Amino acid sequence: MPLLDARNVHGGYGGMNILNGVDMAIESDQIGVIVGPNGAGKSTMLKAVFGLLHVSQGEILLRGEPIHNLPPNQLVQKGMGFVPQENNVFPSLTVKENLEMGAFLKPGNVKRMLAQVYDFFPPLHDKRHQPAGELSGGQRQMVAMGRALMAEPSLLLLDEPTAGLSPLYMNEIFEQVKLVNSAGVGILMVEQNAKQALGIADKGFVLAAGQNRFTDTGAALLADPDVAKSFLGG
């Protein structure tokens, strides 16, 4: 049974449909990457999965259980974590407090998960008593991912985790995504840096105009001349 199975998802904001039938499935140990041109509905799809957007048609299953249109806090309880693209930390809270907020629904885990998150992101341990608002962009991204991991999700949704980061940090983030995945967390992420992202993807989804254009393994998509020509800039 796939970890996440979205079938024919339609949805949008205030009557305007942005998603016109998207299919998406990933297994529990896979990294799924959504790429596509601007306005294709990449982030919208991620929000639909996390219950931030009304799904008008189709269904989304998490381990076979329908979850579309459930409120976010219930999805967190069911093992989903979400890292928004912007404003993804609590700036006046310290790093440690940020992470604790991630485990709000599972207060028993805090100690164990803190240790694990510090393991994934060593710089956070040194800065744990600093307000998150004072950190650099890359470190904030780590706090954001760490916060989502605190609830021990089985599926982590990342919305453009490398947006606005320098190439150096970008590689670091991709490495960390792989690391998190190898610890058994399924990942679904939206990325602008399509080539690099598809490089680590088990499954890639190329969206255009709210529909699937290409769906394959990351390597196969990178090798496909059609994909390369129209979406990866030649």
Residues lying near other proteins in the complex (CB under 8 A): 50, 52, 72-73, 76-77, 82, 84, 87-93, 97-98, 100-102, 104-105, 107, 147-148, 151
Minimum CB separation of residue 225 from other proteins in Å reads 39
Taking the least distance from each CB to other proteins, the nearer of 8 and 77 is: 77
How far apart are CB 88 and other proteins at their closest, in Å?
6
Smallest distance, other proteins to C-beta of residue 190, A: 15
Angle at 217 between CA 213 and CA 219, to 5 degrees: 110
Q: Is 127 helix (H, G, I), strand (E, B) or coil?
A: coil
Among 199, 148, 195, 210, CA closest to 31: 199
Strands 203-208, 55-62: pairing is unpaired
Nearer to other proteins, 145 or 201 (CB): 145
Question: Which residue, chain included where needed, has tokens 């088990």?
Answer: 202
CA distances (Å), origin 144, targets 82, 102, 132, 135: 9, 9, 10, 12
**Residue (105 or 219) nearer to other proteins, CB:** 105
Q: Closer to other proteins at the Cβ: 95 or 194?
A: 95
CB of 85 to other proteins, least distance (A): 12
